[in-house]
Amino acid sequence: MKTKKYRELQVWQHSMKLTRSVYAITLGFPRDEMFGLISQMRRAAVSIPSNIAEGHGHDSDKSSALYLTPARGSLCELETQLELACDLKMLNAASARTLMESTAEIGRMLNGLLRVLHSSDRVTRQPSHR
């Protein structure tokens, strides 16, 4: 990967912004959800940039890619929780739509980064001699 610092990755920057938005939006949720949906949503959101950063800290593109898969999984988890929060009337449709647009964009970015990492792995991999 060409970027030296994970903070330079746009996908990390966007996922940090999404995480801050999730924290802000869940402040308005019912207090009895503090250890339920609020906690789950915040953990899923935090997991996205955390996994991106951790993967970027590894020595190889192959190792980095291994951490993007859980980031993508946490993103899907958060999308599910956003939909549930909307269904339960804890989150209004406009806010849910805005957050879902962010998750879709981050998903596209993660998929693109994974494609780049996988293609660079194929290029650098040596053919086996049998």
Determine the pLDDT at residue 122.
53
- State the average pLDDT over residues 80-93: 96
What single string gives the DSSP state of each residue in 6-40? GGG-HHHHHHHHHHHHHHHHHTTS-GGGTTTHHHH
Q: Say if CB 95 and CB 18 are below 8 A apart.
A: no
Q: Once rounded to an integer, what is the mean pLDDT over residues 87-108?
A: 97
Q: What is the pLDDT of residue 62?
A: 82
Q: What percent of the chain has pLDDT over 70?
A: 90
Question: What are the boundaries of each domain within the chain?
Answer: 6-123
- Give dist(CA 10, CA 16) in Å, integer: 10
Q: Could you give the C-alpha distances from 125 to 26, 59, 61, in angstroms and in order?
A: 45, 15, 11
**pLDDT score at 121:** 58
Q: What CATH number labels 6-123? A: 1.20.1440.60
What's the predicted TM-score (pTM) here? 0.88
The pLDDT of 34-45, averaged and rounded, is: 97
Contact (Cβ atoms closer than 8 angstroms) between residue 50 and residue 74: no
Residue-wise pLDDT tens digits, 104-129: 999 999 999 999 888 875 544 444 44
pLDDT tens profile 4-29: 789 999 999 999 999 999 999 999 99
Maximum alpha-carbon separation in the chain: 63
DSSP H helices in 1-130: 10-26, 37-56, 61-87, 93-124
